[in-house]
Amino acid sequence: MLTAFEKMKAPQRIQWLYEEYGSRLVLSSSFGLQAAVMLDLVSKYAPEIPVVWIDTGYLFPETYEYVELLKEKLNLNLKEYQPLQTAARQEAIHGKLWEQGEEGNAQYGIINKVEPMNRALRELNTDVWLSGLRRSQSSTRVERPFLEQQKKTLKVYPILDWTDPQVQQYYRDNNLPKHPLEAKGYKTMGDWHSTQPVAEGESAEDSRYGGSKYECGLHLDSGATDFQI
């Protein structure tokens, strides 16, 4: 199965998954700088599947604007999930977790990313999770396989082998709008407190969490987090 899947083009991969798994499929999206590619592919080749967007409460205003734009343009079946604690309540109880080192950032990821995604998978009754991760995005994703079993959930990355030029060409060919912050020097996108524009000589990885890490918690190595325990 894996070899055949790898040889397919991205649209074929998504179409095959849709035909094979149907209502068991879900796509997660951060509505980041390159998110429109997977959103557009899914809207064409796996229409009607739920698109899970986790609103941490710490997103850039421009990201919220981008969500509304793409939701309407692509007619997405958008399912919005938030942490169980509001941003204000989290800060009152825990302080600013993103300023509390590795342990604080790990707790932040569980509260704001992992728990809401687990809840989405359970409530939507899905166990095949599509994501737009690509190997060229960071050193932590270079060895990522196309398919990963993580607890009860099968995680699948249909554009894992796409290069940056392929992504940009897809935007042009399909007339997709860019995230507003790309023009301001951002090369990757996350919460406002953990993402900054890329300075001269820096990589996209340097612009996340002060360069200390890239992953937020949703896409760690298989088994590192719980998805449908």
Domain ranges of the chain: 2-185
Q: Residue 142's pLDDT is what?
A: 77
Compute the C-alpha angle 69/74/75, nearest 5°: 100
Q: What's 127-183 look like in SS3? A: CEEECCCCHHHCHHHCCCCCEEEECCEEEECCCCCCCHHHHHHHHHHCCCCCCHHHH
Joined tokens for residue 117: 């995604």
**Within the chain, what is the greatest distance between any pair of CA atoms?**
51
Q: 80 has which bridge partners?
A: 53
The active-site residue, picked from 37, 156, 181, 216, is 216
pLDDT in tens, 89-125: 999 999 999 999 989 999 999 999 999 999 999 999 9
Model confidence pTM above 0.85 = yes
Residue 21: per-residue pLDDT: 96
Cα-based distances in Å from 89 to 59, 61, 84, 95, 96: 16, 20, 10, 9, 11
Per-residue pLDDT at 135: 84
- Cβ 160 vs Cβ 147: under 8 Å: no
Q: What is the pLDDT of residue 88?
A: 95
Task: Let me know if 216 is a catalytic residue.
Answer: yes
Residue 109 neighbours by CB distance under 10 Å: 21
As averages over each run of 10 residues, the pLDDT of the chain (229 residues) reads: 86 96 96 96 96 97 97 96 96 95 92 95 96 81 86 94 95 97 89 83 59 53 51
Question: Quick one: CATH architecture of 2-185?
Answer: 3-Layer(aba) Sandwich (3.40)
